[in-house]
Chain A
Amino acid sequence: MTSPIILSKIQPPPTRPDLIIRPQLLERLQTGISRRLTLVSAPAGFGKTTLISSWLDTLEQSKASPAIAWVSLDEGDNAPVRFWTYALAALHTVQPEVGQTAQELLNGSELPSFEIILTALLNDIQARLPATQRIVLIFDDYHIIEDQTIHEWVTFLLEHLPPQLHLVIISRSDPPLPIARLRARNQLTELRTDDLRFTPAEAAAFLNQAMGLQLSAENISALEARTEGWIAGLQLAALSLQGREDIEGFIANFTGSHQYVLDYLVQEVFEQQPQTVQRFLLQTSILDQLSGPLCDAVTGDHNGQSMLEHLAAVNLFVRSLDDRRQWYRYHRLFLDLLRHKLQQTGIDVDELNRRASHWYEQEGSTDQAIHYALAAHDYDHAGDLIVQNIKDIFIQGKKALLLTWLEMMPPSWLHAHPLVCLAYAWVLFVNGKFEASKQRLAQVETQLMTDGTEGEFDEACIPQLQALPHSLLSVKGLLLTLKGQLSVMQGETQQGIDYLEAGLSGMPDEPPGLKNFVIHQLRLAYWINGDFDAAENILHRFQTEQPVAGDTATIIALLNQAERHLLHGRLQQAAVLYQRLLQVLNKQEREAWFPAALAHSDLGVIFYEWNDLAGAEYHARKGIEFGNRGLGTVRAVAAGYFGLIQTLRAQNNLAEASRVADEMDGLLQEVDLGFHLPISNVLRIPLWIAQNDLDTIRQLLPTYQTAALSRLASQVSKLTSLVAQRYLALNEIDEVAVIASNLLVADDQNIDDHVNGRVLLALVHQAQGDRPQALIDLTEALALAEPEGYIRTFVDFGPPMIALLHDVLAASRQNGADQPPTADYIHTLLKTAQPLDAPPPNAPLLSAAASPLLEPLTDREMDVLQLLAKGYSNRKIADELVITPGTVKIHTSHIYSKLDVSNRTQAVAKARELAILLTT
């Protein structure tokens, strides 16, 4: 299933015997073990890797040595699965049992969320290693990592690090991790450029002892000044001084020159080498890694191995990657200089790359073979290799790599290979590049269909078909599915439904994964289209046609019912079902699966309506977080933002609300869903009203119609009501009346439409001076709304609504009737609708801004703290929260560290003191 581990990547690089020992740096590294992270961040050539490997050498000699897990990263590690596979393999070399569960999860056919994988790893470390043992996990060349998910999960690891584990990150630029936070909490040791540059004493020792020169103090300080202690510069200077007679002359020229240090010195050193060495350096500079046989293949000579050993021995540009003198690589700093030189020589670089590609192909290293074939501009061969191996590429999850390759292929090749293009469209789609995917798909279609007749494939494609991975076998089904999803995403829902239905009918039962996926997409499409019976129906069809695991069916059924209740304004029932759904997901350890995102986001909307702002914020943020991780959850993300922006506005935190709205725009644009932007602007309407920014509201582009397209966001009537607020603010009463009557003509089962419609109508009548009718409308709305606990729909309209509510209250006192709306209910509404300058009644007890803690507790940690306060044991907390006792231990240790206490009694006392416990 997975590609083999390259051992040299998880071995610390060997150190050289003539190393300069740097005691003060070693001491800082040693004391740093007690903190969470050591960051070694400096440009190339400052001896970062050398320093850490020399530290490891001293550790090996000392007695209570921590165990070392080393990972040398390369470009290929930008795939999360591969990154963690290597991290686990490195830990495995330390303690064979550690990380076994996590490894099994990673290798499994269905990849769970990384939260589950990493939690398994952390639990393992906690459970299997004595508290006194230390493991140092080192990531070298971390700057190569660009994949945002990897950064997120490294951050997760850092935030949940058990005391046994220490992280070292070696990087040429500061990684996008919470460095400032760790620094503020004294959990970070940093070694930066200024710490790493050679001191004059170290420069002297290096030049005269390690490099065997006999330079005067004056010459040494001249070199040290010119290179500013940059080790690579000093090393090159030493190399060009070795065996030179006119030392004074060289140093005078070098220090007098304005030329870039490295350019100058590499030129000097290079020219001192014999012709054969110069030639070897240039020809092999195309390679990222070097071995004797590979170099021979590229140069056509037979001296590769001895040449590499020689270069490494004299420390000339090359460094060894393993103890067995098998693999080497050029020091990154010289690589570009050599490649630049090669470019100017007139050597046939394409031919060199072609030879490298051929060698790797013989060795069975497909990725490398494709890489060098592309570098050689040999597209036909690269294409052949891609087609031959596409199954493995998919199985091994190298989709990002496939994208990089296909982006380099010329259009003519892609044109001749429509099925690879289909795979291309699929990968683009999965990566959220919907527009590009759509274009590819259109291309595939014209290529695949003979003379345009629908559904017929060119016979000539069949051999290509055989090579495709299993899940792509139903080409027609897949094509239609992709088209359908793209249409739905872009608002052409009916069209999308047609495609998806057609795709589903042509889809084979095997493999079930793809078919289930299409079924869900289709259901979502019906839902978006407002055809709820069809959405439910598809589930029945799906259950009878193909029985699936009971759990999944339960989840989808719950989700469907809950969504339907919510849509009709049956908030109570919807909330109960969503909470049950979350429990089921929790039990199955699928907390982060897309139904959870939908459940959280919709609970956020419900809690907002109930004016439980703390609950609304919690669920909305969860919904956004989970929704961001998966496909098909645009609705969850949009609903999450709906809840969050409204909540922040209700808390009178307009700046944050507006920042969050910007964040939503950015997110939608990132995934090519810019056409949903009107939603976020509709969500901004109350913000502008609160800021009395009527000009912006007047210029606002989206109309009722554009907002209506956004069923994706949440309940249509709620968005519509926001649009109506816009018209109210501008005093355009007729428009409000139109919106109200549109809501009221709809399905009369729909509480939500009717509550919103009646409320608007009441405001219209009041504005028109028809107060009695306004009271009738409002009373009707209140009667419908009371059993479901509606609050914000009323109070968000502010003073005019307050006045009306007082009148309804007075009228109900006269009538003395005890059917809804009750006086109690209206009192609650009035209490909530206080003027904005008073603090909101249900302000959250713990918000990030108000927290007196340096780092606020996470939601989960709050949950644990609540139960600690009730005196629960770890076991009982674990049962209550449906997590393992090991995870509870991780949480409690974080709670202690954040509260700066050492046991649970102190933690609870401190929490009371800080007033962060929720009163229940």
Chain B
Amino acid sequence: MSQNRFFSKTQCPFHSAAEYQIKVLGWLGQDWSDWFDGLTITNQAEVDSEPVTVLTGCVIDQAALHGILRKIANLGLPLLAVNRLHSKTTHAPNENPKA
């Protein structure tokens, strides 16, 4: 349990770039992409037909992620979900089956 604490910061997943997917309630136009650090913007209707905007793209670190979340809060956009898809430096376990 405790061995991890000796790992350097660079090995820690929280300090490296990763692909994130952020969902907010209500549709936003594509033109908002620049405002949100170049994240791709797609509009989708969810199962219960709520209009949802999905922001997807690479976020360089936790500070950048919090910056984006702050912009969402500043616009009053209701936040639905934040997902980390996979990190940029390592493969997700399911992409890397055991040899």
Binding site for B on A (CB under 8 A): 43-45, 172-173, 230, 232, 258-263, 332-333, 335-337, 340, 343-344, 665, 677, 681, 684, 696, 699, 701
Residues of B within 8 A of A699 (CB): 3
Residues of A within 8 A of B53 (CB): 260
In the complex the two chains form, is B5's CB within 8 Å of A344's CB?
no
For the complex, give the distance between the alpha carbons of A43 and B24 in Å.
15
With A681-B2, A699-B3, A701-B6 already in contact, the answer to whether A263 and B29 are too (CB < 8 A) is: yes
In the complex the two chains form, is B26's CB within 8 Å of A333's CB?
no
Select from chain B the residue with minimum beta-carbon distance to A332.
Answer: B74
In the complex the two chains form, is B73's CB within 8 Å of A173's CB?
yes
For the complex, give the distance between the alpha carbons of A758 and B55 in Å.
66
B76 within 8 A of A: yes
In the complex the two chains form, is B74's CB within 8 Å of A333's CB?
yes
With A172-B73, A260-B53, A333-B74 already in contact, the answer to whether A343 and B26 are too (CB < 8 A) is: no
In the complex the two chains form, is A696's CB within 8 Å of B2's CB?
yes
Mask of B41-85 contacts with A, CB within 8 angstroms, 1/0: 001010000010100000000000000000101111100000000
Question: What 4 pairs between A and B have smallest CB-CB spacing?
Answer: A260-B26, A258-B51, A258-B27, A340-B35
In the complex the two chains form, is A263's CB within 8 Å of B73's CB?
no
B31 within 8 A of A: yes
For the complex, give the distance between the alpha carbons of A43 and B51 in Å.
20
For the complex, give the distance between the alpha carbons of A677 and B9 in Å.
14
- Compute the total of residue contacts between A and B using a CB distance below 8 Å: 63
Q: Secondary structure of the A side of the interface?
A: helix
B14 within 8 A of A: no
B34 within 8 A of A: yes
For the complex, give the distance between the alpha carbons of A172 and B76 in Å.
10
Residues of A within 8 A of B1 (CB): 696
Taking a contact as CB atoms closer than 8 A, the residue among B2, B29, B71 that contacts A336 in the complex is B71
Residues of A within 8 A of B26 (CB): 258-261, 263
With A258-B43, A336-B71, A343-B35 already in contact, the answer to whether A232 and B76 are too (CB < 8 A) is: yes
Could you list 23 examples of A-B contacts with CB < 8 Å?
A: A173-B73, A230-B76, A258-B26, A258-B43, A260-B25, A260-B27, A260-B53, A260-B77, A261-B26, A262-B76, A263-B29, A263-B32, A332-B74, A333-B76, A335-B74, A336-B71, A336-B74, A336-B75, A677-B5, A681-B2, A681-B5, A696-B1, A696-B2
B17 within 8 A of A: no
Residues of B within 8 A of A173 (CB): 73
With A44-B76, A335-B74 already in contact, the answer to whether A263 and B28 are too (CB < 8 A) is: yes
Residues of A within 8 A of B74 (CB): 44, 332-333, 335-336
With A259-B27, A263-B28, A677-B5 already in contact, the answer to whether A337 and B75 are too (CB < 8 A) is: yes
Q: How far is the CB of B63 from chain A (nearest CB, A)?
A: 12
Residues of B within 8 A of A43 (CB): 73, 76
Residues of B within 8 A of A261 (CB): 26
Select from chain B the residue with minimum beta-carbon distance to A702.
Answer: B6
Binding site for A on B (CB under 8 A): 1-3, 5-6, 24-29, 31-32, 34-35, 43, 45, 51, 53, 71, 73-77
In the complex the two chains form, is A262's CB within 8 Å of B3's CB?
no
Residues of B within 8 A of A701 (CB): 6
In the complex the two chains form, is B32's CB within 8 Å of A340's CB?
yes
For the complex, give the distance between the alpha carbons of A258 and B28 in Å.
9
Q: How far is the CB of A256 from chain B (nearest CB, A)?
A: 11
**Known contacts A343-B34, A677-B6; 7 further A-B pairs (Cβ under 8 A):** A258-B51, A335-B74, A336-B75, A340-B35, A343-B35, A344-B31, A699-B3
For the complex, give the distance between the alpha carbons of A343 and B53 in Å.
21
For the complex, give the distance between the alpha carbons of A372 and B71 in Å.
20
In the complex the two chains form, is A260's CB within 8 Å of B2's CB?
no
In the complex the two chains form, is B5's CB within 8 Å of A665's CB?
yes
For the complex, give the distance between the alpha carbons of A45 and B74 in Å.
10
Q: How far is the CB of B56 from chain A (nearest CB, A)?
A: 17
For the complex, give the distance between the alpha carbons of A837 and B76 in Å.
56
For the complex, give the distance between the alpha carbons of A701 and B3 in Å.
9
In the complex the two chains form, is A260's CB within 8 Å of B28's CB?
yes
Residues of A within 8 A of B24 (CB): 260
Residue from A232, A259, A332 with most neighbouring chain B CB atoms (10 Å): A259
Select from chain A the residue with minimum beta-carbon distance to B77.
Answer: A260
Q: How far is the CB of B66 from chain A (nearest CB, A)?
A: 11
In the complex the two chains form, is B2's CB within 8 Å of A684's CB?
yes
For the complex, give the distance between the alpha carbons of A261 and B24 in Å.
12
For the complex, give the distance between the alpha carbons of A720 and B76 in Å.
56
Select from chain A the residue with minimum beta-carbon distance to B51.
Answer: A258
Select from chain A the residue with minimum beta-carbon distance to B26.
Answer: A260
Residue from A172, A258, A684 with most neighbouring chain B CB atoms (10 Å): A258
With A696-B2, A699-B3 already in contact, the answer to whether A258 and B45 are too (CB < 8 A) is: yes
For the complex, give the distance between the alpha carbons of A173 and B70 in Å.
11
Q: How far is the CB of A667 from chain B (nearest CB, A)?
A: 12
For the complex, give the distance between the alpha carbons of A263 and B31 in Å.
11
For the complex, give the distance between the alpha carbons of A263 and B2 in Å.
48
Residues of B within 8 A of A232 (CB): 76
For the complex, give the distance between the alpha carbons of A259 and B29 in Å.
8
For the complex, give the distance between the alpha carbons of A719 and B5 in Å.
20
Residues of A within 8 A of B76 (CB): 43-45, 230, 232, 262, 333
Select from chain A the residue with minimum beta-carbon distance to B28.
Answer: A260
With A260-B77, A261-B26 already in contact, the answer to whether A336 and B35 are too (CB < 8 A) is: yes
Residues of A within 8 A of B35 (CB): 336, 340, 343
Select from chain B the residue with minimum beta-carbon distance to A666.
Answer: B5
For the complex, give the distance between the alpha carbons of A591 and B28 in Å.
55
For the complex, give the distance between the alpha carbons of A230 and B6 in Å.
49
Select from chain A the residue with minimum beta-carbon distance to B78.
Answer: A43
Select from chain B the residue with minimum beta-carbon distance to A143.
Answer: B73
Select from chain B the residue with minimum beta-carbon distance to A341.
Answer: B31
For the complex, give the distance between the alpha carbons of A232 and B75 in Å.
11
Residue from B2, B3, B27, B77 with most neighbouring chain A CB atoms (10 Å): B2
Select from chain B the residue with minimum beta-carbon distance to A263.
Answer: B28
Q: How far is the CB of A276 from chain B (nearest CB, A)?
A: 24
Select from chain B the residue with minimum beta-carbon distance to A693.
Answer: B1
Residues of A within 8 A of B45 (CB): 258
Q: How far is the CB of A890 from chain B (nearest CB, A)?
A: 37
Select from chain B the residue with minimum beta-carbon distance to A44.
Answer: B76
Residues of B within 8 A of A696 (CB): 1-3
For the complex, give the distance between the alpha carbons of A43 and B34 in Å.
24
For the complex, give the distance between the alpha carbons of A45 and B6 in Å.
46
Residues of B within 8 A of A172 (CB): 73
Q: How far is the CB of A446 from chain B (nearest CB, A)?
A: 26
Q: How far is the CB of B37 from chain A (nearest CB, A)?
A: 12
Select from chain B the residue with minimum beta-carbon distance to A340.
Answer: B35
For the complex, give the distance between the alpha carbons of A232 and B76 in Å.
10
For the complex, give the distance between the alpha carbons of A263 and B32 in Å.
10
For the complex, give the distance between the alpha carbons of A413 and B3 in Å.
42
Q: How far is the CB of B75 from chain A (nearest CB, A)?
A: 5
For the complex, give the distance between the alpha carbons of A260 and B53 in Å.
9
Residues of B within 8 A of A263 (CB): 26, 28-29, 32
Q: How far is the CB of B1 from chain A (nearest CB, A)?
A: 8
For the complex, give the distance between the alpha carbons of A860 and B52 in Å.
54
Residues of B within 8 A of A259 (CB): 26-29, 51
For the complex, give the distance between the alpha carbons of A261 and B50 in Å.
13
Q: How far is the CB of A317 from chain B (nearest CB, A)?
A: 14
Residues of B within 8 A of A45 (CB): 76
For the complex, give the distance between the alpha carbons of A684 and B32 in Å.
51
Residue from A230, A261, A333, A340 with most neighbouring chain B CB atoms (10 Å): A340
Q: How far is the CB of B88 from chain A (nearest CB, A)?
A: 23
For the complex, give the distance between the alpha carbons of A260 and B35 in Å.
15
